[in-house]
Amino acid sequence: MKNASGKSKREVVSAERFKAAVVQAAPVIFDRERTLKKVDGLAGDAASQGARLVVFPEAFVSAYPRGMDFGAVFGSRSEAGREQFRRYWESSVDVPGPAVDALARTAKRSRIYLVIGVIERDRGTLYCTVLFFAPDGAYLGKHRKIMPTASERLVWGFGDGSTMPVFDTPLGKMGAVICWENYLPLMRAAMYAKGIELYCAPTADPRDSWIASMRHIAVEGRCFVLSSNQFNRRRDFPADYPAALSDDPNAVVTRGGSCIVDPFGNFLAGPNTEGEVILTAEIDRAQIVRGKFDLDVVGHYARPDIFQLQVDERPKKPVITRDSVIPNSATRNRHA
């Protein structure tokens, strides 16, 4: 279908400009309800600045438990560590559940696409998860981190290939890759193959090397990269937080580094390491097509005659119950 200019609706959408935001802030650690209220306020602030897409950090609801060891060493777990896990579990999010409903209301109230890191609980297992919401409040889906890093594996389960979505929205094709998943080249290739244009990268990594990686991925994928990290001071953690942090309440624990990068590796906003902030930038989706002219790593710049990637997106469940009844020998004989 053509409009008055002779362009198709899809072409008009592809050339659209809009404002996006990444939120750099601290949650109310281990307090889910107060964190959800803070999310609602921050999302409203971003929307008031014109943002139509708002990205929050990894594990924002309700904690990235930096510095905690949960009392675990090879061959032993402490009772104190088990209680720390219980506290973390209690502040996590059921999907679906009341916290998801609250986030859906936030997206609808602010009329934004909301992408946010949560700690999801599924029975006795926690997952580092990103949730996606539409401006009408619809819950779009989730991505579970497929590879927790180092000690994260003590407390987070592993996602599988069934939750690696890229959503086709009016703003563009949107997905998320969490923290050091971004150092899995094959995962990046899978996301590029799905046509990701708005590459959301919630993280807990404040290093300079992470910021360099965001520029690399934007160039490699010819996509907009929106990286959001927490900014924490010691005072943002509970007084009884069981980790060796500074005694100075103003000491910076996580410095942020959030940024928005265009398909040519240019910073449109950030990186910011100064404090809590909402970074915004105008997204010109025409830059994606301009960039594909000389680099499309899953298109004209690929060599499928040499390299190919197979992706298994089937859910991997530990217990499968089948409804079919196995016929007894008499039944089998009648149908023989």
For residue 237, is pLDDT > 50?
Answer: yes
For residue 108, is pLDDT > 80?
Answer: yes
Question: CA 223, CA 142: separation in Å to the nearest integer?
Answer: 20
Close Cβ partners of 136 (under 8 Å, ≥ 6 residues apart): 107, 108
pLDDT top residue among 186 and 328: 186
pLDDT at 322 (0 to 100) = 87
pLDDT at 328 (0 to 100) = 61
Instruction: Tell me: cis bond preceding 57? Omega within 30 of 0 counts.
Output: no
pLDDT band at 8 (very low <50, low <70, confident <90, very high): very low
Mean pLDDT of 84-103: 98
Which of 120, 142, 145, 220 is the catalytic position?
Answer: 145
- What rounded mean pLDDT belongs to the chain? 93
58 is known as an active-site residue: yes
pLDDT tens digits along 143-187: 999 999 999 999 999 999 999 999 999 999 999 999 999 999 999
259 is known as an active-site residue: no
CB crowding 140-159: b at 16 or more within 10 Å, else e:
bebbbbbbbbeebeebbbeb
Which of 58, 120, 152, 197 is the catalytic position?
Answer: 58
38 is known as an active-site residue: no
pLDDT at 6 (0 to 100) = 47
- What does the block give as tokens for 98? 């009341």
pLDDT top residue among 79 and 335: 79
Global pTM exceeds 0.75: yes
For 5, 33, 40, 221, 259, the CA distances from 102, given in Å and listed in that order, are 41, 9, 9, 33, 26
- Tokens 């939750």 belong to residue: 163
Mean pLDDT of 52-75: 96
- Give the chain's end-to-end CA distance (angstroms, integer): 58
Which of 142, 152, 179, 259 is the catalytic position?
Answer: 179
| Residue type, position 214, single letter | M
Measured on CA atoms in the order 128, 33, 205, 115, is the torsion positive or negative?
A: positive
Mean pLDDT of 240-253: 92
